[in-house]
Amino acid sequence: MKDLQNIKQRFGIIGNYEGLNRAIDIAVQVAPTDLSVLITGESGTGKEVFPQVIHSYSARKHGPYIAVNCGAIPEGTIDSELFGHEKGAFTGATDSRKGYFEVADGGSIFLDEVAELPLSTQVRLLRVLETGEFIRVGSSKVQKTNVRVIAASNVDVPNAIDHGRFREDLFYRLNTVPIRVPSLKERGEDIILLFRKFAVDFADKYRMPAIRIDADARILLLNYSWPGNVRQLKNITEQISIIEKERDITAVTLRSYLPDYEGVKLPAIIKKEEDKTYASEREILYKILFDMKSDMNDLKKLVYDFMQSGDSNITTGETNSGIIKNLFRDAKAERVTAKVPDASPVDFTSSSGLEDIQDTEEIVEESLSLADKEVEMIRKALGKFNGKRKMAAHELGISERTLYRKIKEYGIEM
């Protein structure tokens, strides 16, 4: 514990959160080795401190230490910055120049925001990690370097791999030892300790009394989500120290510096999208037609079941009669008939409440083939516009070329 406190004092690390202590412990343990380290965590959590801890407790501590923000270097010059270039390698290259990997030979290099590297540069970096070799831009000479690589990223690297933005082999090569830096909202009482530390630092810097917070403001600090993490807390503390005349800060005053504060953050209920989607309006139309057919079949079955239950139940049952009348009222009182074995015809709309049921023609099941439906819709559209393909294609929501192809494919006569 004493060693841990010494490390915190030496590198200005504030807090007692278990996850933070674990990250420091891993950094100290891996420092004597030459293993690559990948540090992950949200932006503003203080990831840049851990490479310094690793370098300072390693055998390379007397060698150079270079920190590179990969996201701040333009894509066109990143290779030159990292690996150097020869004179005349590109426009503006008036002299040869050493890259960071050449300058940091025998020491450590910290690649911050490593996920921002272009894929071509990632290939070069992978070669350095595996063989210690690199080639300057514009040169054909292979050079060697002995560098300990420590990388950091605030993005979800596995997700970047899935989207083709980061090489999987490079990820596993960098992620030999992973260190996760916890976000500020996870660290609980560490937030109060950090606020007090920043308040004292800014009081010394600007030569004024340090600000203090009351109990309500303390609760406010603990409940806030801190999307900007430690960096945001430090900035807000500095703003309050300079702007506010009163040194005792209330929750009302503090809230004015947190415009997006919404109280205690509760889990959000996210409505899951329907798993089934449709690729075109045509498929939606087919789905509606199929649903309508299913409803009609259910209606036919219901009527047939009433018929099968017997004459007495149908002719005299007010409940059954009411149900059937309601069903057929929605169908605009059309005459619907069904064949009932060994039963006399029944009137569904007579004064007794029912009308005669007469024999009908055999019902033929319609085709459920999408191809048949497509042919039917194309013929209807062509008939509507007297064979004009352009207007029919617009009506169907497809291109004229696609319509022409389908006419040929299905052998539809114009």
pLDDT in tens, 278-309: 445 666 776 777 778 777 877 777 777 777 76
Same domain? For 140 and 176 the reply is yes
Contact present, 179 and 11 (Cβ < 8 Å): no
Same domain? For 151 and 24 the reply is yes
Q: How far is CA 399 from CA 377, 391, 402, 403, in A?
A: 15, 10, 5, 6
Domain stop point among 130, 158, 182: 182
SS3 127: helix
Q: Is residue 272 part of a domain?
A: no
Same domain? For 37 and 129 the reply is yes
Q: Is residue 265 part of a domain?
A: no
- Residues of the chain above pLDDT 70, percent: 79
CATH of the domain at 208: 1.10.8.60
The larger pLDDT score, comparing residue 311 to residue 165, is at 165
Task: Give residue 311's domain range.
Answer: 280-364
342's enclosing H/E stretch is none
Q: Is residue 163 part of a domain?
A: yes
Q: Is residue 59 part of a domain?
A: yes
**Which pLDDT band, with edges at 50, 70 and 90, does 367 fall under?**
low
Same domain? For 358 and 376 the reply is no
Mean pLDDT, all residues of the chain: 82
Neighbours of 349 (CB within 10 A): 14
Same domain? For 40 and 106 the reply is yes
Does the pLDDT value for residue 131 go beyond 60?
yes
Does the pLDDT value for residue 152 go beyond 90?
yes
Q: Is residue 267 part of a domain?
A: no
Same domain? For 109 and 206 the reply is no
Same domain? For 45 and 156 the reply is yes
Same domain? For 324 and 352 the reply is yes
Look up residue 184 and give its DSSP letter.
Answer: G
Does the pLDDT value for residue 83 go beyond 90?
yes
Domain stop point among 182, 198, 223: 182
Q: Is residue 261 part of a domain?
A: no
CATH of the domain at 119: 3.40.50.300
**Distance from C-alpha of 384 to C-alpha of 54, rounded to nearest angstrom:** 77
Which tokens hold the place of 327? 């069903």
The CB-based long-range contact list for 358-366 (8 Å cut-off, 24+ gap) reads 363/300, 366/293
**Distance from C-alpha of 304 to C-alpha of 295, rounded to nearest angstrom:** 14
Q: Is residue 270 part of a domain?
A: no
Ordered DSSP codes for 230-256: HHHHHHHHHHHHHH-S-SEE-HHHHHT
CA nearest neighbour of 169 among 116, 117, 130:
130
Q: Is residue 268 part of a domain?
A: no
Same domain? For 332 and 293 the reply is yes
Same domain? For 286 and 348 the reply is yes
Indicate the number of domains in the chain.
4
**Distance from C-alpha of 111 to C-alpha of 130, rounded to nearest angstrom:** 16
- Residues of the chain above pLDDT 90, percent: 59
Same domain? For 162 and 197 the reply is no
Domain stop point among 148, 182, 216: 182
Same domain? For 75 and 172 the reply is yes
Neighbouring residues of 184: CB distance < 8 A, sequence distance ≥ 6: 44, 45, 190, 191, 194, 226, 229, 230, 232, 233
Tell me: the pLDDT tens digits for 21-53?
999 999 999 999 999 999 999 999 999 999 999
